[in-house]
Amino acid sequence: MDFRNLIYERENSICYLTLNRPEKLNAMNADLLFELREALTTIEADPEIRVVILTGAGRAFSAGFDIQRGPDNPDPQETQPDAWREHLKGHIDTFMMIWNLSKPVIAAVNGYALAGACELVQVCDIKIASERAVLGEPEIRAGVGPPLLITPFSVGMAKAKELLLTGDTIDAHEAARLGMINRVVPHDQLMTECERTARKITRISQVGVKMSKIAVNRALEGMGFLSSIEHNLELMVHFDTSSTPEQEEFNAVRREKGLKAALEWRDARFRDL
């Protein structure tokens, strides 16, 4: 398949999806998310594909959702709540396609996986990270919250609250210790390890793999995962479309000096901590 923002490759029964906006640290814009949905639809319909490996081009898995404003990415403070709800729901629905895909998805976390991308990693079935990976949800520091809220189900309430209340990031080893990812490997062995795991899956009954994925997902859903998404969506609509001093300052710096300066302002306030 020919995409602009996503590389789609297939080798026998393994499909490779690579987020391909390296100049933007693979930030997920509307076009990339559309292409990801198209690719997942194709994968679901192809009986020859049995497992997917998802990674990012360049030095990042993904920096999260693209916050460069434009027609497809409006400023939430300038958007009606109903319109913003649909905007966020599009992000959630894309991630849930991975959750509901009948084939396992392995996240090959090759670098930064921040904000929405941290949630993208967690919604995958198996997560293997390079020793260079950094994960977390720093978007809270600019007054924006996570749309999916899967982190409490991955790492437990105590650590989820710490991460989501501080915006701290963690390295790959800490993410593995917490259960956010499965394991850490040397950077140059990341794809080899992901492919080794994928080949194991291809040698197991496809029906058995599908049923196992459904069973584990249903267990988490029985703990309230789906209802928490619904409740969190309404909270995020209210939070994102409300004006806070942090959001106002971030937006003011972005308007005057650009996005890079705004991100620098966001992070500089925490360097002494």
Active site residues: 119, 139
Listed in sequence order, the residues at least 6 apart from 249 whose beta carbon sits closer than 8 Å to its beta carbon are 265
**Distance between first and last Cα of the chain:** 47
What separation in angstroms does the CA of 94 have from each of 27, 37, 106, 167?
A: 15, 6, 16, 24
Residue 163 structure tokens = 């991460």
Phi and psi based region of residue 188 (left: phi greater than 0; alpha: psi -120 to 50; beta: remaining) = alpha
Sheet holding 60-62, edge to edge: 60-62, 112-114, 134-136, 169-171
Query: What is the distance between the alpha carbons of residues 150 and 156, in angstroms, rounded to a whole number?
Result: 10
Query: With contact defined as beta carbons under 8 Å apart, do 88 and 229 qualify?
Result: no
Listed in sequence order, the residues at least 6 apart from 4 whose beta carbon sits closer than 8 Å to its beta carbon are 20, 31, 35
CA count, 13 A, side-chain hemisphere, 3 = 22
One DSSP character per residue, 64-133 reads SB----BTTB--GGGS-HHHHHHHHHHHHHHHHHHHH-SS-EEEEE-SEEETHHHHHHHHSSEEEEETT-
For residue 143, give the DSSP letter.
T
